[in-house]
């Protein structure tokens, strides 16, 4: 609070100083300088904006200017000769170039018998003020006004028109016929693109800079690219479009939280590899709070549930752009939190000098399950080789005249051949009195799920005048997930506004509020409370509708109907009785003041707030598998983060050749996390879920955490002739989670860019060439409470619990050192460009938790150990094969590869287990990788032959190296084609190499549910291909027959059996947009009207037999790549979006 108060006092003082200087006139003294430099100085002193063609001053002579206490008109008059004219309207100066001679001007005016008018907009229908419009044959130009309109009077004739605007592709149209007295309308829609020399990007701390100045790799995705195929998860729009980016999810339900990583895994600590997310200057960690006692993905106390995290709530349609700062150099000013890079999100705001307008956006999405697993429907449930009196295989739900019951949750029963057996009778909920036909229900799984539907409607009010702008968005989302009685409702409000209270003081604020509620979120993972677990054991001979009554007749609300398996619950019981409600509220926002203290010194002060509070409930009915008499749990989770920071920026020139910028600032971050878990086990009254309805008093547990980081930072930038740039940054953090002797750590960075195309005369095809080089060192602190002995609250009164992990009073911060180099080349007037980067990083002092001898009183201990190295290559290729007035085609291709190696494990460590999901683990070893997959393997002889014993595959006695889950490379290809008012876009992406382990596949195959277990059923045995060990230690071919069910069940108890090639190609998104004619839009009083039809995740080409080769799982609080465990089904999304602006 003291830092906040001090900041506010400083802001007040600076505001008073700014007011004192308000009204100051212009003083400029420059010799042999360019007009552009004079305009830049005017902007710095006055706050005026300038609109002019980027090439208008290319042949302008250097000028001398010496004015003191002058107004802007006097300065401009002395800056321009007769070749230029200007107009001033609402602090916007529009500069035009005159026609070459007065004589020509007079002559042409007498011949002006026609008029050319039009409007210039962006591809998102935003009016572009200050665009340059040129009639090529006449060399005549004009600028668009604040509404994007232009007018040109021209003689009768046929002309070509060219429209240019900063950061957009040029627009050209030829064969425009003008006749006497005619008015011809040509509207131009400019495509957002990259301007080699002038593209502006958002960097660390929200500092905007020209792309050519930056000495490190970054990639920006604009709103149009992000929402090509709209999604309820904003990060879906990044997939396949950013080199070096990896998004991990586990198909965990309707929210489907995701973890975003950049350039591989740098930390040995699970959860220590995520990028920092920054939304309008508000830093947000990707932390996920697990239910209860950190429930894992396999055989936990409950089925895990995905309740979302802070970054899950952001709406894709609210985002203006996403800047991905990939390495430590790019994100160094963010400090320890951005050791793994940063994703900078800028939300939409209104535009200055834009009339107030209303926008309506309606999107409908439909989720359809694809990529179904390879379940078999040739054989039904039962026991293998169960024979009746006639020696024929039979099935009997209960004991019958055919023999003892064979009703087991395994699919080793008879083949479906139309036989008659005693089966389950859904009407009586017991065995039928007569035999019925033995047949498969091939759609039993498909009949349970439904088409998921999401409807999102939003209303936007936006606009501005010469002093400010604002945007207010209200939205409502209704989701019905693919599983019955699951989904959510979300209400969102976002505001982004700014206002110039003087020409030196600008105030701005952003606020985002999201409320999400759900009556039920499904559980996933390997647990009998998981829907995915039930589906593993859904017998081929069972109609899913037999489960719909939920309760046994006469035992309603007491005993669930579950006639086929004691392992899992009735799926409708899981959806309607064992529910997981959620009520989540998030508030993210900031207040910011930008003050021009002098003509060269600026101050930015900002206070940001990020709060997420969730009420999670766990309702378990009578006969729930883990709670025979029911259960009710209530988890109250809240996280609050406050950041206060300021930034001083001083800009000046040493000479005409050198300019420099000095930036200095400080920040304070306070974080407060509360987690209260209250529960009762055994309900007094069935179906009543309150803490007062327990047989015993509620058990209450808390898990709180606090953290604070204080920081000082600075940056020095030096530029030479707009051709060479040097950045030097430094930051020092003081973290409360480290011991006092180690809690201060400094990290520097240095980067440079060389505009080779400005320094040398290059061949004409080369439009632009930049070389860049950077180095950085960043730190990363520890989780709270690892440096001293802290006692936890016990569930019993007047008691406490000792920590199970031994603290480390000498803990040090993790340190990542990184360097990168690359180039950006653009050819053929920017028709073809390539951005290439090579990087290398090394992270040492890894903070690890290791197993400990229990006799010490601690089961684990915290140490600094290990070094991890990453190196890789990133390529981004952009091409414009066709650029025509009515048709253009843009191609973006990205490719990346990353090599990871563990260089060192200290403290006599041989290996470190990073994550475990059932049979498989990610284990790090020296010389290995953080993505190495380990688990039990098939035992083999020296020649590589599989070893059998009694006909059964033999597994290794210990976990062994299987392979690596990381791909050899990843790539994405996006094509965008525009023809008049139509736009087609599609993205393909994929990866080559890497492995994925499927626990779902192994567990399903274990009991005969998959097609790979069909061989050997007719014979009743299998002779495995391999060798068996002889008594003398030698090996001979295996000749022993093994019962088919025994063979496959033992086979799939080995992790290696569930490992597959993770290579894939996905049709990530396809969309077609039609901008309806202006005449039709005007007829319904709309300015713009567009319709988009789209699809996402439409097809997968892979060798993986289950849902998603890209999948992972949510294991406690961490997302684990490459270890799949009973996820929700994989879906393709089809949708329709209607946008209207009024």
DSSP string, 855-911: GGT-SEEEEE--EEEEEEEEEEEEEEEEE-SSEEEEEEEEEEEEEEEEEE--TT-SE
- Measured at the CA of 907, the angle between CA 902 and CA 908, to 5 degrees, comes to 80
In 3-state terms, the chain is what percent helix, strand and coil (to 5)? 10, 50, 40
Cβ(140)–Cβ(134) under 8 Å?
A: yes
Q: Which two tokens stand for residue 424?
A: 């389950």
Beta bridge partners of 369: 1131
Range of lowest pLDDT (114-128, 208-222, 773-787, 940-954): 114-128
Question: 787 pLDDT exceeds 80?
Answer: no
For the chain, how far is it from start to end, CA to CA, in angstroms?
44
Concatenated DSSP letters for 985-1038?
Answer: EEEEEEEES-EEEEHHHHHHHHTT-BGGG-TTTTTTEE--SSEEE-TTS-EEE-
Concatenated DSSP letters for 790-831?
Answer: -PEEPSSTT-EE--SEE--TT---EEEEEEEEEEEEEETTTT
Cβ(360)–Cβ(1087) under 8 Å?
A: no
Encode pLDDT of 843-891 as tens digits: 998 888 877 777 777 878 888 888 999 999 999 999 999 988 789 999 9
Rounded CA gap, 455 and 737, in Å?
44
Q: What is the pLDDT of residue 201?
A: 74
Q: What is the pLDDT of residue 801?
A: 76
Per-residue pLDDT band at 20 (split at 50, 70, 90): very low
Residue range 70-88: mean pLDDT, rounded: 79
For residue 941, the SS3 value is: coil
Q: What does the DSSP 8-state code read for residue 403?
A: B
* Strands, E assignment, 654-743: 658-681, 699-702, 705-720, 724-735
Cβ(531)–Cβ(575) under 8 Å?
A: yes
Q: Which two tokens stand for residue 733?
A: 């953090």
Q: Is the dihedral of CA 389, 394, 398, 400 positive or negative?
A: negative
Range of lowest pLDDT (47-56, 274-283, 600-609): 47-56
Q: What is the pLDDT of residue 139?
A: 77
HSE of 790 in the Cβ direction (CA atoms, 13 Å)? 15
- Measured at the CA of 535, the angle between CA 407 and CA 922, to 5 degrees, comes to 120
Residue range 745-773: mean pLDDT, rounded: 93
Q: What is the pLDDT of residue 124?
A: 59
Rounded CA gap, 17 and 776, in Å?
37
Among 552, 680, 559, residue whose Cα is nearest residue 628 = 559
Question: 452 pLDDT exceeds 70?
Answer: yes
Q: What is the pLDDT of residue 718?
A: 96
Q: Containing H/E element for 259?
A: strand 259-262
Question: 930 pLDDT exceeds 90?
Answer: yes
Per-residue pLDDT band at 8 (split at 50, 70, 90): very low
Range of lowest pLDDT (293-297, 702-706, 788-792): 293-297
Q: Containing H/E element for 106?
A: helix 102-110
| C-alpha separations of 496 from 586, 637, 789 in Å | 16, 28, 45
Between residues 43 and 1108, the one the model is more confident about: 1108
HSE of 1015 in the Cβ direction (CA atoms, 13 Å)? 7
| C-alpha separations of 721 from 527, 651, 753, 1066 in Å | 65, 15, 12, 46
What domains are there in the chain, each with its CATH number?
A: 234-350+470-547+576-931+966-994+1062-1141 (2.40.170.20), 396-446 (no CATH), 932-965+1007-1055 (no CATH)
Q: What is the pLDDT of residue 850?
A: 76
Rounded CA gap, 381 and 537, in Å?
10
| C-alpha separations of 42 from 25, 70, 73, 368, 648 in Å | 10, 11, 11, 58, 20
Rounded CA gap, 797 and 573, in Å?
36
Cβ(1040)–Cβ(1023) under 8 Å?
A: yes
Please report which residue ranges of 206-297 form alpha helices under DSSP H.
223-226
Residue range 221-247: mean pLDDT, rounded: 92
Question: 600 pLDDT exceeds 60?
Answer: yes
Range of lowest pLDDT (504-518, 849-863, 976-990): 849-863
Encode pLDDT of 170-179 as tens digits: 888 888 989 8
Question: 46 pLDDT exceeds 90?
Answer: no
The residue whose two tokens read 């688990």 is 935
Encode pLDDT of 356-379 as tens digits: 889 999 999 999 999 999 999 999
Rounded CA gap, 371 and 429, in Å?
34
Q: Containing H/E element for 245?
A: strand 245-248
Report the chain's mean pLDDT, rounded to a whole number.
88
Residue range 1055-1076: mean pLDDT, rounded: 96
| C-alpha separations of 56 from 51, 94, 132 in Å | 11, 12, 10
* Strands, E assignment, 598-690: 601-624, 627-653, 658-681
Q: How many CB atoms lie within 10 A of CB 59?
A: 7
| C-alpha separations of 551 from 484, 624, 630, 889 in Å | 17, 12, 14, 59
Question: 1105 pLDDT exceeds 70?
Answer: yes
| C-alpha separations of 679 from 254, 293, 520 in Å | 25, 12, 18
Range of lowest pLDDT (30-44, 620-634, 883-897): 30-44
Per-residue pLDDT band at 611 (split at 50, 70, 90): very high
Range of lowest pLDDT (186-195, 419-428, 774-783, 1001-1010): 186-195
Q: What does the DSSP 8-state code read for residue 693?
A: G
The residue whose two tokens read 């006055």 is 46
Between residues 911 and 88, the one the model is more confident about: 911
Rounded CA gap, 596 and 15, in Å?
9
CA dihedral of residues 1098, 1102, 1105, 1106 (deg, nearest 10)? -40
Question: 123 pLDDT exceeds 70?
Answer: no
Residue range 455-482: mean pLDDT, rounded: 93
Q: Containing H/E element for 773?
A: strand 766-780
Q: What is the chain's alpha carbon radius of gyration, rounded to the nearest angstrom?
A: 33
Residue range 1106-1135: mean pLDDT, rounded: 92
Encode pLDDT of 965-974 as tens digits: 999 999 999 9
Q: What is the pLDDT of residue 154?
A: 87
The residue whose two tokens read 């989701």 is 479
The residue whose two tokens read 């025994």 is 1046
Question: 554 pLDDT exceeds 60?
Answer: yes
| C-alpha separations of 23 from 504, 541, 596 in Å | 9, 85, 12
* Strands, E assignment, 831-866: 832-844, 847-851, 860-864
Per-residue pLDDT band at 100 (split at 50, 70, 90): very low
The residue whose two tokens read 């008093």 is 697
HSE of 705 in the Cβ direction (CA atoms, 13 Å)? 18
Q: What is the pLDDT of residue 107?
A: 39
The residue whose two tokens read 């505009």 is 755
Question: 439 pLDDT exceeds 50?
Answer: yes
Between residues 200 and 667, the one the model is more confident about: 667
Question: 110 pLDDT exceeds 70?
Answer: no
Q: How many CB atoms lie within 10 A of CB 976?
A: 21
Q: What is the pLDDT of residue 1?
A: 43
Q: Is the dihedral of CA 1062, 1063, 1065, 1068 positive or negative?
A: positive
């Amino acid at each position: 609070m003291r830092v906040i108060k001090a900041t506010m006092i400083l802001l007040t003082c600076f505001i008073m100083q700014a007011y004192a200087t308000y009204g100051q006139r212009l003083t400029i003294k420059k010799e042999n300088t360019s007009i552009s430099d004079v305009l830049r100085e005017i902007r710095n002193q006055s706050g005026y904006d300038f609109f002019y063609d980027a090439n208008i001053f290319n042949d302008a002579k250097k000028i001398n200017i010496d004015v003191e206490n002058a107004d802007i008109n006097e300065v401009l008059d002395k800056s321009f000769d007769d070749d230029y004219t200007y107009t001033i309207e609402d602090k916007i100066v529009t500069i035009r170039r005159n026609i070459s001679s007065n004589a020509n001007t007079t002559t042409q005016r007498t011949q002006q018998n026609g008029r050319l008018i039009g409007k210039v907009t962006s591809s998102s229908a935003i009016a572009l003020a200050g665009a340059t419009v040129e009639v090529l044959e006449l060399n005549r130009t004009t600028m668009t006004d604040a509404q994007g309109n232009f007018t040109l009077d021209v003689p009768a004739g046929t002309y070509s028109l060219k429209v240019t605007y900063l950061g957009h592709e040029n627009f050209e149209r030829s064969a425009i016929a003008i006749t006497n007295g005619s008015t011809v309308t040509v509207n131009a829609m400019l495509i957002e693109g990259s301007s080699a020399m002038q593209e502006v990007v958002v960097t660390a701390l929200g500092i905007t800079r020209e792309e050519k100045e930056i000495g490190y790799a970054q990639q920006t995705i604009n709103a149009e690219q992000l929402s090509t195929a709209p999604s309820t998860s904003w990060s879906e729009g990044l997939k396949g479009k950013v080199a070096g980016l990896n998004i991990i999810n586990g198909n965990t339900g309707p929210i489907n939280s995701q973890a975003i990583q950049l350039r591989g895994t740098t930390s040995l600590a699970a959860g220590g590899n995520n990028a920092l997310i920054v939304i309008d200057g508000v830093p947000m960690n990707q932390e996920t709070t697990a239910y209860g006692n950190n429930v894992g993905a396999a055989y936990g106390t409950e089925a895990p549930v995905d309740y979302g995290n802070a970054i899950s709530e952001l709406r894709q349609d609210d985002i203006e752009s996403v800047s991905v700062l990939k390495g430590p150099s790019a994100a160094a000013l963010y400090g320890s939190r951005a050791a793994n890079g940063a994703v900078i999100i800028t939300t939409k705001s209104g535009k200055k000098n834009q009339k107030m307008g209303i926008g309506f956006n309606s999107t409908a999405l439909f989720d359809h399950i694809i990529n179904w697993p390879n379940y078999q429907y040739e054989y039904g449930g039962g026991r293998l080789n169960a024979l009746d009196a006639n020696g024929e295989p039979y099935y009997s739900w209960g004991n019958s005249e055919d023999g003892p019951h064979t009703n087991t949750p395994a699919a080793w029963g008879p083949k479906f051949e139309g036989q008659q057996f005693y089966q389950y009778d859904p009407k009586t909920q017991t065995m039928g009195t007569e035999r019925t036909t033995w047949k498969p229900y091939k759609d039993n799984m498909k009949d349970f799920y439904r088409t998921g539907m999401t409807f999102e409607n939003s209303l936007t009010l936006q606009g501005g005048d010469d002093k400010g702008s604002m945007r207010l968005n209200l939205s409502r989302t209704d989701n019905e997930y693919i599983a019955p009685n699951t989904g959510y409702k979300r209400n969102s409000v976002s505001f982004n506004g700014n206002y110039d209270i003087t020409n030196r003081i600008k105030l701005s604020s952003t606020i985002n509020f999201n409320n999400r509620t759900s009556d039920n979120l499904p559980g996933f993972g390997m647990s009998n409370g998981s829907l995915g677990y039930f589906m593993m054991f859904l017998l081929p001979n069972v109609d899913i509708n037999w489960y719909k009554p939920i309760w046994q007749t006469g035992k309603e609300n007491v005993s669930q109907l579950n006639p086929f398996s004691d392992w899992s619950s009735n799926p409708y019981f899981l959806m309607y009785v064992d529910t997981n409600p959620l009520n989540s509220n998030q508030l993210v926002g900031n207040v910011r003041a930008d003050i021009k203290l002098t003509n060269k010194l600026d101050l930015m002060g900002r206070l940001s707030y990020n709060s997420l509070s969730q009420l999670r409930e766990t309702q378990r009915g009578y006969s729930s598998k883990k709670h025979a008499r029911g259960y009710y749990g209530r988890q109250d989770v809240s996280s609050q983060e406050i950041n206060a920071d300021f930034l001083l920026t001083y800009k000046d020139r040493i000479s005409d050749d050198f300019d420099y910028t000095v930036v200095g600032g400080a920040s304070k971050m306070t974080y407060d996390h509360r987690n209260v878990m209250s529960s009762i086990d055994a309900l007094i009254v069935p179906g009543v879920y309150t803490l007062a309805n327990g047989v015993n008093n509620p058990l209450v547990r808390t898990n709180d955490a606090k953290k604070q980081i204080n920081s000082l930072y600075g940056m020095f930038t030096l530029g030479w002739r707009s051709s060479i740039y040097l950045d030097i940054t430094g930051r020092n953090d003081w973290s409360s989670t480290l011991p006092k002797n180690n809690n201060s750590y400094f990290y520097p960075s240095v980067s440079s860019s060389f505009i080779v195309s400005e320094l040398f005369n290059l061949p004409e095809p080369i439009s632009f060439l930049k070389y860049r080089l950077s180095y950085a060192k960043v730190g990363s602190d520890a989780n709270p409470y690892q440096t001293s002995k802290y006692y936890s609250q016990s569930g019993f009164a007047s008691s406490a619990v000792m920590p199970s992990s031994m603290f480390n009073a000498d803990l040090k911060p993790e340190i990542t050192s990184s360097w990168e180099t690359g180039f950006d080349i653009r050819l053929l007037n920017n028709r073809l460009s390539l951005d290439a980067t090579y990087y290398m990083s090394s992270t040492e002092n890894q903070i690890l938790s290791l197993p400990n001898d229990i006799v010490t009183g601690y089961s684990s201990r915290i140490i600094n150990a290990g070094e991890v190295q990453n190196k890789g290559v990133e390529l981004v290729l952009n091409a414009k094969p066709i650029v025509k007035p009515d048709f253009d085609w843009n191609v973006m291709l990205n490719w990346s590869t990353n090599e990871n190696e563990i260089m060192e494990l200290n403290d006599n460590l041989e290996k470190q287990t990073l994550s475990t999901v059932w049979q498989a683990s990610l284990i790090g070893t020296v010389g290995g990788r953080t993505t190495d997959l380990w688990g039990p393997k098939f035992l083999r002889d020296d020649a590589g032959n599989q070893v059998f014993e009694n006909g059964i595959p033999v597994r290794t006695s210990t976990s062994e190296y299987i392979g690596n889950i990381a791909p050899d490379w990843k790539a994405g290809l996006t094509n965008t084609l525009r023809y008049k008012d139509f736009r087609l876009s599609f993205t393909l992406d994929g990866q080559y190499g890497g492995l994925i382990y499927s626990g779902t596949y192994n567990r399903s195959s274990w009991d005969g549910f998959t097609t790979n277990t069909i061989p050997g059923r007719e014979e009743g045995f299998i002779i495995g291909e391999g060798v068996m060990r002889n008594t003398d230690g030698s090996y001979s071919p295996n000749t022993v027959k093994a019962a088919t069910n025994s063979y496959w069940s033992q086979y799939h108890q080995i992790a290696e059996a569930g490992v597959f090639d993770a290579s894939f190609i996905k049709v990530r998104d396809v969309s077609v947009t039609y901008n309806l004619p202006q005449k039709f839009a005007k007829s319904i009083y709309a300015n713009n009207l567009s319709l988009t039809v789209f699809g996402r995740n439409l097809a997968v080409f892979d060798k993986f037999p289950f849902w998603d080769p890209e999948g992972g799982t949510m294991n406690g609080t961490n997302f684990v790549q490459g270890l799949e465990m009973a996820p929700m089904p994989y879906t393709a999304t089809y949708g329709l979006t209607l946008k209207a602006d009024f």
